[in-house]
Amino acid sequence: MATCIEWAEERTEECSEWRDEGHNECSAWDDRCCDWWPCSWACKVITWVCVAFVWVSSWVCVAWTVVTTLVCVAWDVVTTVANAILVTLESVLGWVLSAVAFIIELLEAIPILGTLIRWVLNFVTFLIWTIVSLVDAVLGLVGVRPEKLLRVCTVILRDERGAPVATTAYAVDLLQVAVNVFKRDANVRIVPLRPFKYTTGFAGPETVTEDWVSVERGPSDADTLDVPCDAGGAGAEWLLAGSKLQLKMSTNCFYGAWRRVLGYGEPVACFIIRSVPGAFGCALWITDYATVANQTPPTGGGLINRRVLAHEVGHATNLWHLDAASNPTNLMGTPWSSAVPDLTQSRLDWWQVLLVRASKHVSYF
Ligand SMILES: [Zn+2]
């Protein structure tokens, strides 16, 4: 069933809860009424106004839900049809566009200068596509949130001796958590970056399979296998490690090159690397990639942080950290506590949903 309709059911329930609560408050008022005229008379009038207000507003609530749901479903129909055409076109022509974009991406792989080019390009495309999605954000604010797409390209690196740093099953598991969270809370369908990937908002979330994940052909060096985060990661981005990751993205995720250069529906490359010193993963927001550390076997006998890939994709799509103490169930809450189960600790607030959906990585087509 379309997520639009599932959400409508939830909102209709909220409308009737609002109506019931209102009725209770009106009768609580009525019970406290004075019993001498004209006070009793005036009090009754207020009770009637109260009941009428609750009745009208609960119907406005339901009517509004019907209208927004109709718009949402209609838009899902439009994107389903348009995507059938556009995905076919892209599957044929995307390779040509990406071959042109690949040349630009080679320039972006030059240390320092290339980093400057891609940071500027990423910031400019961020501004452009954020402005374009403002209309959609306003609709989202009033409850119209048709399905949007987010493309991921997941690559497992090989260590210096050529052994993959993680199993494909590990990557599949983390991806599935991300798929479920983004679909459930933001109505964003995470899909693998590949041709002929048709989608519709009327289907449930994707089931991640092993073919979503590729294992890089050749070995990597320590500077891309153990990439630090924050200042260290940003520093590495400007030097050889950044160039190498850019090249890995251009070659392993070639099909998305033209989207990366234009910034529209830009895929997020998820590199599964050996370690992220001091963290489970990293995404700098300005870059088109996220890194996720291998956690098998989990260190210190702890549980695997299954939400980490979803969390890093959250950073890539405009989200920042929240304090876990006051946001214990939020996807962006840190520090992560392994004592809490994953999916329940991966909620997105309504304002985070708006930010994610306004991201240039998230698009209708
Ligand atoms: Zn984080």
Q: Above 90 in pLDDT, residue 180?
A: yes
From the CA of 281, how far away is ligand 1's center (Å)? 7
From the CA of 194, how far away is ligand 1's center (Å)? 27
Over residues 208-263, the pLDDT tens digits come to 999 999 999 999 999 999 998 877 778 888 888 889 999 999 999 999 999 999 99
Cβ 178 vs Cβ 119: under 8 Å: no
Q: What is the DSSP string of 131-163?
A: HHTHHHHHHHHTT----EEEEEEEEEEE-TTS-
Over residues 278-287, the pLDDT tens digits come to 888 999 898 9
From the CA of 169, how far away is ligand 1's center (Å)? 23
From the CA of 67, how far away is ligand 1's center (Å)? 37
From the CA of 50, how far away is ligand 1's center (Å)? 47
Q: Above 80 in pLDDT, residue 298?
A: no
Q: Above 80 in pLDDT, residue 184?
A: yes
From the CA of 325, how far away is ligand 1's center (Å)? 15
Rounded to an integer, what distance in angstroms lies between the CA atom of residue 263 and that of residue 362? 10
From the CA of 315, how far away is ligand 1's center (Å)? 7
Q: In the chain, which ranges are E strands?
A: 148-158, 188-192, 213-219, 268-273, 281-283, 289-293, 322-323, 333-334, 362-363
Over residues 72-110, the pLDDT tens digits come to 999 999 999 999 999 999 999 999 999 999 999 999 989
Higher-confidence residue of 196 and 279: namely 196
From the CA of 203, how far away is ligand 1's center (Å)? 30
From the CA of 60, how far away is ligand 1's center (Å)? 40
Over residues 112-143, the pLDDT tens digits come to 998 999 999 999 999 999 999 999 999 998 88
What average pLDDT is seen over the chain?
A: 91
Residue 161: pLDDT band with limits 50, 70, 90 = very high
Over residues 328-348, the pLDDT tens digits come to 889 998 877 655 556 667 899
Q: Above 70 in pLDDT, residue 38?
A: yes
From the CA of 229, how far away is ligand 1's center (Å)? 9
From the CA of 231, how far away is ligand 1's center (Å)? 13
> Please, what is the angle between helix 308-316 and helix 168-186, to 10°?
60
What integer pLDDT is reported at residue 2 of this predicted model? 75
From the CA of 316, how far away is ligand 1's center (Å)? 10
Strand partners, 149: 189, 363
From the CA of 140, how far away is ligand 1's center (Å)? 25
What's the sign of the alpha-carbon dihedral 282, 269, 186, 207? negative
Q: What is the DSSP letter of 296?
A: S
What integer pLDDT is reported at residue 337 of this predicted model? 61
From the CA of 178, how far away is ligand 1's center (Å)? 14
Q: Above 80 in pLDDT, residue 302?
A: no
Residue 2: Cβ within 10 Å count: 21
Domain boundaries along the sequence of the chain: 3-70, 96-363
From the CA of 336, how far away is ligand 1's center (Å)? 9
Rounded to a whole number of angstroms, the distance between the first and last alpha carbons of the chain is: 20
Residues 6+ apart with CB under 8 A from 178: 152, 190, 307, 309, 310, 313
Rounded to an integer, what distance in angstroms lies between the CA atom of residue 289 and that of residue 37? 74
Question: What whole-number percentage of the chain has pLDDT above 90?
Answer: 74
Q: What are phi and psi of 198, to 5 degrees?
A: -85, 145
Residue bearing tokens 């040509």: 96
From the CA of 40, how far away is ligand 1's center (Å)? 60
Higher-confidence residue of 10 and 296: namely 10
From the CA of 292, how far away is ligand 1's center (Å)? 11
From the CA of 197, how far away is ligand 1's center (Å)? 29
From the CA of 352, how far away is ligand 1's center (Å)? 14
From the CA of 285, how far away is ligand 1's center (Å)? 10
From the CA of 272, how far away is ligand 1's center (Å)? 16
Question: What whole-number percentage of the chain has pLDDT above 70?
Answer: 96
From the CA of 230, how far away is ligand 1's center (Å)? 10
